[in-house]
Structures are given as structure tokens and as C-alpha cells.
Chains A and B, each alone.
Chain A
Amino acid sequence: MTDHLATPTIEKAPDSPPAAADLATMLLIRHFELALLDLFARGELHGTTHTCLGQEYVPVALAPLLTARDYVFSNHRGHGHYIARFGDPAGLLAEIMGRAGGVCHGVGGSQHVFRDRYLSTGVQGESLPVATGVALHLKREEPGALALAYIGDGTWGEGAVYEALNMAALWRLPLLVVVENNGIAQSTPTTAELAGTIGGRAAAFGCAHLRVENTDPAEIRAVAGPLVERVREGVPLVLEFVTNRLGPHSKGDDTRPAAELSRVRAADWHARGSGAEFAAADAAAAARIAALVAEVAARPPAVWSRA
């Protein structure tokens, strides 16, 4: 077996605080998501939304490993992916609230966002073949760029995943599949929806696989960075984050037992934060989002110009 097929794991790190810039983005995403749940509770949003509470560090860790030429395909739980890439909570909040300045003029909402080389869709697994097609384009037209697709553990139930991995490995395409394995697919625990392991499935296609249990962006980058560089040379990678979904699937639909909820809360990076610097950063992010909510809520409705 060649070394790139090995399945290393980044074990959980000691609780060192993230670097200040990373922490600031993680906190921005955290308070953005909390604000959405609050807006829903107050009846000020309609439709649905899927928050990434607990998973904020994943896109924050990956952001510096990507360039503007790389494509990112997000999924239904994509607010953190967007904010980590663009640092634009205002455009996303306006989109979700259907207000002027929304990144897709209110048409896409929470789950369908397209900006530059970032795109999300609301159908599980659908983006993997699309990302594979984009990777085919990049290999020919823009060597060195890659296509990243975020999926969850539940998405491994979709056949599209396997069709895409087969083609990406067969054609040596620059495809990076980032799996946010948060242990639950809507209400179904991973143990009840996934046979075998994600690493085993990646190996079946000859794809490299790295399992990450760490939550520190700098440590994640140090190990994942070289493998992401190999993706650019046409070695597809399945990068699996063992993570925790702190909140409900969408708004209020969490049926997990109390013990399980206690476990995920205890593992939350935010709950481990301490000290004056952390508290100050946390308060700053909360204040920024609160001001943003007030500002965006006062905007006029989004206008969709179809032409």
C-alpha cells in the first residue's frame, strides 16, 4: 500500500486556545448561528436553517489551505463554510432574512448560495459529482486548483458519493471531500445509518483518507496541509472530521438523550474557552452579530431581478 492510502488520525489535542484570528472567526460563526436560532424562536425567519454550532472550526481550519482559484461546494449546513471563506456575515444574513444585499437576492436562502467559486445546494450528495466535473475542468484548464465538497456522515448513504469517488480516483482529479462526521444524520445516529467506516469506503476507491479528531485549526492545518497539496496534483482525499453537532438538525428537532447532549456539550470547543482574552473576543463577536441583526432587519426586502 502506498503511503497516501494510509489512514492516519490527528488525535485530540490538549486544550490550547486557537490563535486569535482563528478564534475570532469561530466566534463570529458561533454567534451568527445562535442569532439565527433566536430569530426563528422569535418568528422573524421562515423556512428552515441548519446551524453548524460545534463545527465552526472545520472551515476555519481549512480556509488558509485554499486559494481563490479553488471551488468550494457546501451543503445544507453551510453558514460556517461561507463565513470562513468570505468573512461576510452581512451578505449571508441578508440572504437568509430575504433583505436587500443578500448574496443571492433572497432566492437561494440558507441552503442555496453561490458566490464566486463557492456554491451550496440543498440535496445530499448532489454536489459530489458536480465537484468532480469542476475538478475535471480544473485539471485541464487550471492545474493546481482543486474542488472541495463538504458532506456529512449521513451523505454516505447516497449513491452519488460513490459514483463521484470512482470517477475522481479513476481520472486522478483534484477533488477534496471534507466529511463533517458529527455522529448523527438528522435524527439517526451514525451507528444506525453507516456500515463499516468512512475510511474503509475511501480506501475502496483508492482515495487517501485522513481522520481528524482535533479541534485546533493550526494543528489541523499542519497535518492536513501536505495532503491537500497532493490533492492539487490529482490525488483525491477524503478528509474526515470527527466533530459534534451541538444544536438541533434544523430548528427544534433534537431527540438525542440527555447523556448524549451532555457529552457533545462537554466536547464543545467553545465550552473549553476560558480567560479574559477569550471572554473579550466572545463578547466582541456577540456584539458585532447583534448589531448586524438589527441593521439587516431594518433593510428593505430583497428584489429579484430575473433578467
Chain B
Amino acid sequence: MTARPERVVENLNHALHERLRADPRLYVLGEDIADPYGGAFKVTRGLSDADPGRVIATPISENGIAGVASGLALAGDAAIVEIMFGDFAGLAFDQVLNFASKSVSMYGRPHPMRLVVRLPSGGGRGYGPTHSQSLLKHFIGIPGLSLFELSPFHDNRAVLARMLDLGEPCVFVEDKVLYTRRQATGGRLDDLFDYGFLGAEDVGPAHVYVDDGGDVDCLLVAPGGVADRAVAAMRELLLHHEISCRLVVPSRLYPVEAEALVSAARRASYVCVVEESTAGGTWGAEVAHVLHERLWGRLRRPVRLVHSADSVIPAAVHLEREVLVQAGTIRDAVLADLRAERSPV
């Protein structure tokens, strides 16, 4: 009997352990991250027992913690900060926007800043309006700042190493619903879909497909947190509507890694970008811009954006479901567009 794949939270935890062992200048900071509690979502379990000097439970001070981490990075150390709920990154925004990311370049010459700000994010767990948001759109387009998202396809050992090696601050969005899922392994997702990587395994965008070589009706582009909802929509679209889709799941969301997306989009006539952020000024809009710029005249429709409603995120489960992107939301958007495409004028 083969062992079951790691849960995503275990993979991330192992990755943190590995980074701390590999890099004697790395610190991990955050509220309630120390053992025996090990963090609100147990991502940091065992870390402070392994290295109490470099794994530091902090006061409730998001701005301060982000600043302390920036100071460590400025002095040549590296730091990973956990913001207990990603929503609270609002309190740390100045340090990320005006200090950490600016310090890479605003002094007239490059100055490396090895810093990762982890944001447990997203809804689906009934935590209500200030504990359920995905703030990724608020971190897009900041010079010197990269934006990554946790995904079940990507090994966090490689992703964390990549973020720290960049030498510029990174925000790492971690959809909370992923923590208890299992990592994808072996190239086979389920009875219908296979997956692979566009570019370097574990850090390049992952893609999910039925037929690796063929063209498809629709390319879905989605961050890790909504990938499972995208796959569920792909299954229904194929089995019930004979619409073939391919899914691309980037590890780095911003700057948009255009080449892989453009190559994938060339093999589809229609592209739909999915994300959990609420409407307005979204990551999907940035992806659409990149694709329109490169593929205008080739795509048969404008890139479709699918995101959560323009709304606060309610606590009650039925109300929350109405606001957040569901598999059905994606399916309906693709169906509506492709049916319109196929209808006689």
C-alpha cells in the first residue's frame, strides 16, 4: 500500500522546517505561531521547538511585525511573516508598500530584501466579513513586490526557496480551504484529468488537461485556491456539455508570467480567468490585459473574468456561498459565453 500524499498544510510546514534548517539567517515571525499552539492553522507547528531563537511569537502588531521582518531583511537576514488572517494585512500594508518593496530600488541601486509575508486567505469557512477575504488584488502592481499563491500542485519546498531567492519581498496568498487537502502527486489528478507543469516543475505554472496535445474550447486560468472549483467546472462542462477545457494554475501571480499563459491561450479560442477576490480591480483584469495585448485578433471573445460578487463576505454559509465564486459560477460563465458564440446571429 502506498502512502497517501501529504496534506497541503503538512507540505507547507515541512517546507518551513526545511528552509529554517537550510538557512541559518532565516526567521519566522507571527502571532501565536509558537509551540505547542503552532499557529492558528498549524502551519508553523514544531518550528519554535526546533529553533526557538529564530521562530518568534509576536505581540498583536501586524504593522510592527512586518517592519521587524523588513529590518531583518534589510540587515541581510531573511524573514517569513505569518499574518494570522490575511485580512489583517491591511494593518501591515504600509511596511509592505512603502518600505519593504521600495527599499529594493528606491535608494538608486538594488538592495536585496528576502521577505515573505504569508496571508491565510479566503472564505468558505464562515468566518465572516473581516476574516474571509482574499486580498491579492490589493498587492498587484507594486514595484518590487511579487505575489504568489499556494497551490496543491506546487511543492512548497520549491516555492518558498524561490520566493526567498528572488531578493525582493513576496506576498504569499494561502487559501485556507487548501490546508486540509492533499498535494497532487504523480501527474494524475483523478479519473479524468492529468496535470503537469509549463516550465520548471514545482515553480512553473501547473496545467490540468484531458489531452495534453490537443486544442480546447476554453482555457481557464486560476490561482491555487480556486483550482478545485475550476476542475469541478471543467468536469461538468466536458461530461454534460461537451466543452473541453484546460486549466492553468500559476504559482507566481504577479508579475504575470506571460509566456506560459500566452502559449496556453494560443491553443484555445476563449479564455476565462477565475479568482476569489471580489469584483473590481482584480488580478484577472491584469491577466486579461496581458492576453489582450498579445493575442488581440486571435481570441474570439474578450477574456472573461469570473470573481466573487462586489460584496462583503457574509458569515452564514448560504449567504457566503451566494457571494463567493463556486464551481457553478465558472460553469455558467463559460456556458453563457460559448453558447452565445455558437448561436446564430
Does A102 belong to the interface (CB within 8 Å)? yes
Could you tell me which residues of chain A, from 125 to 157, have a CB within 8 Å of some CB in chain B? 126-138, 140-141, 147
Take A105-B109, A107-B107, A129-B95 as given contacts and tell me if A137 and B61 are in contact as well, using a CB distance cutoff of 8 Å: no
Residues of B within 8 A of A305 (CB): 109
Interface contact B108-A135, CB-CB below 8 Å: no
Partner of A121, one of B61, B65, B69, B98: B98
Q: With the chains together, A140 CA to B79 CA distance in Å?
A: 14
Partner of A129, one of B67, B76, B79, B108: B67
Take A129-B71, A134-B71, A134-B75 as given contacts and tell me if A163 and B94 are in contact as well, using a CB distance cutoff of 8 Å: no
Partner of A105, one of B63, B64, B99, B108: B108
Residues of A within 8 A of B107 (CB): 104, 107-108, 112-114, 119
Residues of B within 8 A of A131 (CB): 71
Does B83 belong to the interface (CB within 8 Å)? no
Residues of A within 8 A of B98 (CB): 121, 123, 126
Q: With the chains together, A132 CA to B65 CA distance in Å?
A: 9
Residues of B within 8 A of A134 (CB): 71-72, 74-75
A224 → chain B closest CB, angstroms: 24
Take A126-B95, A133-B68, A134-B71 as given contacts and tell me if A160 and B63 are in contact as well, using a CB distance cutoff of 8 Å: yes
Q: Which residue of B lies closest to A170 (CB)?
A: B59
Q: List 24 A-B contacts (CB under 8 A).
A: A106-B108, A107-B105, A107-B106, A108-B108, A112-B106, A114-B108, A121-B99, A123-B99, A126-B94, A127-B99, A129-B61, A129-B64, A129-B67, A133-B73, A133-B74, A135-B71, A136-B68, A137-B77, A141-B77, A163-B59, A164-B67, A164-B68, A167-B64, A306-B105
Interface contact A133-B63, CB-CB below 8 Å: no
B47 → chain A closest CB, angstroms: 17
Interface contact A133-B72, CB-CB below 8 Å: yes
Does A166 belong to the interface (CB within 8 Å)? yes
Chain B 45-71: CB-based contact to A (< 8 A → 1; otherwise 0): 000000001000011010111111111
Does B19 belong to the interface (CB within 8 Å)? no
Q: With the chains together, A64 CA to B52 CA distance in Å?
A: 36
Residues of B within 8 A of A114 (CB): 103, 107-108, 111
Interface contact A137-B71, CB-CB below 8 Å: yes
Could you tell me which residues of chain B, from 306 to 342, have a CB within 8 Å of some CB in chain A? none
The 5 closest A-B pairs by CB, nearest first: A133-B71, A129-B67, A163-B64, A105-B108, A114-B107
Q: With the chains together, A114 CA to B102 CA distance in Å?
A: 12
Interface contact A130-B106, CB-CB below 8 Å: no
Q: With the chains together, A212 CA to B66 CA distance in Å?
A: 32
Q: Which residue of A lies closest to B76 (CB)?
A: A137
Q: Which residue of B lies closest to A123 (CB)?
A: B98
Residues of A within 8 A of B58 (CB): 167
Take A106-B108, A137-B75, A163-B61 as given contacts and tell me if A132 and B67 are in contact as well, using a CB distance cutoff of 8 Å: yes
Partner of B70, one of A108, A113, A130, A307: A130
Chain B 98-134: CB-based contact to A (< 8 A → 1; otherwise 0): 1100110111111100000000000000000000000
Q: With the chains together, A129 CA to B74 CA distance in Å?
A: 12
A195 → chain B closest CB, angstroms: 21
Interface contact A102-B108, CB-CB below 8 Å: yes
Q: A121-B98, A166-B61 given. 9 additional CB < 8 A pairs?
A: A104-B109, A106-B108, A114-B111, A123-B98, A130-B68, A132-B64, A133-B67, A136-B71, A163-B61
Interface contact B75-A133, CB-CB below 8 Å: yes
Does A159 belong to the interface (CB within 8 Å)? yes
Could you tell me which residues of chain B, from 78 to 101, have a CB within 8 Å of some CB in chain A? 79, 94-95, 98-99
Residues of B within 8 A of A170 (CB): 59
Interface contact A128-B108, CB-CB below 8 Å: no
Chain A 211-225: CB-based contact to B (< 8 A → 1; otherwise 0): 000000000000000
Q: Which residue of B lies closest to A114 (CB)?
A: B107
Could you tell me which residues of chain A, from 153 to 207, have a CB within 8 Å of some CB in chain B? 159-160, 163-164, 166-167, 170
Chain A 38-79: CB-based contact to B (< 8 A → 1; otherwise 0): 000000000000000000000000000000000100000000
Residues of B within 8 A of A123 (CB): 94, 98-99
Partner of A128, one of B67, B69, B73: B67
Q: Which residue of A lies closest to B68 (CB)?
A: A133
Identify the interface centre among B63, B77, B108, B109: most chain A CB within 10 Å of its CB: B108
Q: With the chains together, A160 CA to B64 CA distance in Å?
A: 6
A180 → chain B closest CB, angstroms: 21
Q: With the chains together, A167 CA to B76 CA distance in Å?
A: 20
Q: With the chains together, A291 CA to B63 CA distance in Å?
A: 44
Interface contact A137-B108, CB-CB below 8 Å: no
Residues of B within 8 A of A121 (CB): 98-99
Q: With the chains together, A136 CA to B69 CA distance in Å?
A: 10
B81 → chain A closest CB, angstroms: 10
Residues of A within 8 A of B79 (CB): 133
B269 → chain A closest CB, angstroms: 39
Residues of A within 8 A of B27 (CB): 136
B74 → chain A closest CB, angstroms: 6
Q: Which residue of B lies closest to A134 (CB)?
A: B71
Q: With the chains together, A170 CA to B56 CA distance in Å?
A: 12
Partner of A126, one of B67, B77, B109, B111: B67
B56 → chain A closest CB, angstroms: 8
Q: Which residue of B lies closest to A307 (CB)?
A: B110
Q: Which residue of A lies closest to B62 (CB)?
A: A163
Interface contact B108-A140, CB-CB below 8 Å: no
